Chains A and B, each alone.
Chain A
Amino acid sequence: MASAPSPEVLRAPLVVEFPFTRSLGPVQSAFLTGLRERTVLGVRTTDGRTLVPPVEYDPVTADEIRDLVEVSATGTVATWAWNHEPRRGQPLDRPFAWVLVKLDGADTALLHALDAPGPEEVRTGMRVRIRWAAERTGAITDIACFEAYEGPEGGEAAPHEGEFSDPVTGIVAPARLDYTYAPGRAQTAYINALSEQRTVGERCPSCHKVYVPPRGACPTCGVATTDRVEVGPRGTVTTYCIVNIKAKNLDIEVPYVYAHIALDGADLALHARIAGIPYDQVRMGLRVEPVWTEGARFPDHYRPTGEPDADYDTYKELV
């Protein structure tokens, strides 16, 4: 079991979500378009076996295979597993069996779900048929699931041209994974200090460089950086760029300046926006200080301190 979290451990939800858009080749396109039309297609290998679901290359010989055939929507359970607690995204939201089904006319098995009242109603060798989804788009989920079937066995695989009107040529497969992000010891200390409007780095015990933000390790020496030191708040612009294109949802007028800033006492420059000075007057060596907004967990931007510019030699190692 997980031990009780120490109060210092920070956590935040992290959701990674992306609609993967994928192209289909000629065989996958025919198969998924076929499902939309309640037709199950397989592909014939050079040695005469029928693969369902079909692939474009023979998994044994690597031969290119394009010889499509139609198989039945009925079949036999090759193996199964009872899933009493369905998870997000799975075909049914009530207990069901995962099944590998060999459709009549096919020599290989298709993975899907079987709708059954309980595990005692499922066995290897049981006869099943496809239950089609009410709305079909050309995706594996056009098969809603399998269900028990008592009728006659389907026949042999029959040749099929694989031609349909309005063929599906691609799928969009949305994927979402949920995480709880924990930044670890060094970054937790950095974030906690920022909430007190302080910036802390960590010193390498070997080369004595101060890293900010600290990540817990010195990339030069490969050892833990455990010696915490406060840096800044003032610093020096070591280099900068002028941003002329506005990012989506960004509430900052362009042009503005984004800069690398070496905080006093740090051996690594961090980056931040510069404001409080016309964009075309920002320069290397400019002395700056952080500007905090109410309740913020990091400086909104840095502004000039009014001090004379730093001498190039004082920051040239950090450019």
Chain B
Amino acid sequence: MPPAKTSAKPSVMRSVRDIAIVAFGQTDHLRSTDELSEVEMLMPVLHQVLASTGLKTSDIGFTCSGSSDYLAGRAFSFTMALDGVGAWPPISESHVEMDGAWALYEAWTKLLTGDADTALVYSYGKSSPGSVRDVLTRQLDPYYVAPLWPDSVALAALQAQALIDAGDADEPALAGVAARSRGDAAANSHAQLSGSVPQGDYVVRPLRAGDCPPIGDGAAAVILAAGDRARELCERPAWIRGIDHRIEAHSLGVRDLTDSPSSRLAAERAGAFERPVDTAELHAPFTSQEIVLRKALKLGDDVSVNPSGGALAANPVMAAGLIRLGEAAARIHRGESDRALAHATSGPCLQQNLVAVLEGES
């Protein structure tokens, strides 16, 4: 398969306005939150990011959210969550039927236009009401693939076996990714799965329970601000130096599952390869996907990968990608990172990928 058609030397997108993540909040991620509706789960997180910046909902210039009706089992389910952001009188608002990382991308473009100086981005997902493995089959090609109901673990397992056949990984290497992630997650009070977690039995071979993300409910929110507004709202803003997202062919049989050229291209466009990063928050719900991404993004052993525990520690579908951006930004806010890469994915076997480069001012 030849690489996707691109210009010989992709140019790095330079933004016309400096935009930063100035606040990040997330719920504790739990297997089930039956006692709460989506908006009830989301509101404390919204209030947390507003409180940390001192902003009120009426101060926010643009609001964008990510969620999925298929998780909720209800049409237009995101409109219920809008009650939590004070949508009356009317606000400037948008929604993506995707992970909140893509809502953040939309908010970033909105701020670039100068139409707004601040943006609230949030996303949430409750996997507990349904069977997320089956629900995710509905995003597949409806003619040739979805009628076979291949679940999300099965497709990831095909990718893992391709990786093993290529000599890029073996089962102990996959278990090592799981152990490191859950070990790091011990320091993350929001994580659903942390500490020493057994690899367990095969779910779909070669993936064992330990190679798969926990299924759970959760929400996250960030606030973006432009220029001096960001400096007013946050002591050390996490400046978005570049952000890009790319997609590959939907047909799995057309792709090289051991590589992620769309991640690499997005990273290149976001400027990730201009200077080394010290931190990478990768949205890799399966252990095998971290190995694919490390290679595609050329991350060396000196880069701290998923110090939060990553999606193997908590994977609230539709929020897990936004959380990667938030966790990377929070490390910059705390002074633990100067230059971080954040990645989000969507679709089977890393079909769609978003990469952002965040920096703190020294």
Contacts and interface: CB of A to CB of B under 8 A. Distances in A.
Interface residues of A, number: 74
A227 to B, nearest CB: 15
Given A24-B143, A216-B40, A81 B154 contact: yes
A59 to B, nearest CB: 4
A297 interface: no
A222 interface: yes
A100 B252 contact: yes
A183 B74 CA distance: 12
Contact of A90 (B39, B73, B149, B206): B149
B40 A186 contact: yes
B148 interface: yes
B120 to A, nearest CB: 10
B134 A87 contact: yes
A113 B148 contact: yes
Interface string A43-71: 00001000111010001110000000000
Contacts of B40: 184-186, 216-217, 224
Interface in B26-68: 31-32, 34-40, 43, 46-47, 57
A112 B148 contact: yes
Contacts of A171: 143, 147
B86 A59 contact: no
B2 interface: yes
Interface in B124-176: 128-131, 133-135, 138, 142-151, 154-155, 157-162, 165
B73 A179 contact: yes
B70 interface: yes
A1 B251 contact: no
Contacts of B135: 177
B46 A61 contact: no
A83 B206 CA distance: 10
A319 to B, nearest CB: 16
Chain B interface residue number, banded: 35 or more
A2 B87 CA distance: 33
A139 B148 CA distance: 10
B148 A181 contact: no
Interface string A169-206: 00101010111111111111000000000000000000
B205 interface: yes
Interface of A: 1-3, 5-6, 8-9, 11, 14, 16, 20, 22, 24, 28, 32, 47, 51-53, 55, 59-61, 78-84, 87-91, 98, 100, 102, 108-113, 119, 124, 139-141, 171, 173, 175, 177-188, 215-224
Given A59-B249, A222-B87, 13 more contacts: A2-B31, A9-B34, A32-B143, A55-B251, A60-B5, A81-B206, A90-B149, A98-B158, A109-B252, A111-B253, A141-B148, A218-B86, A220-B89
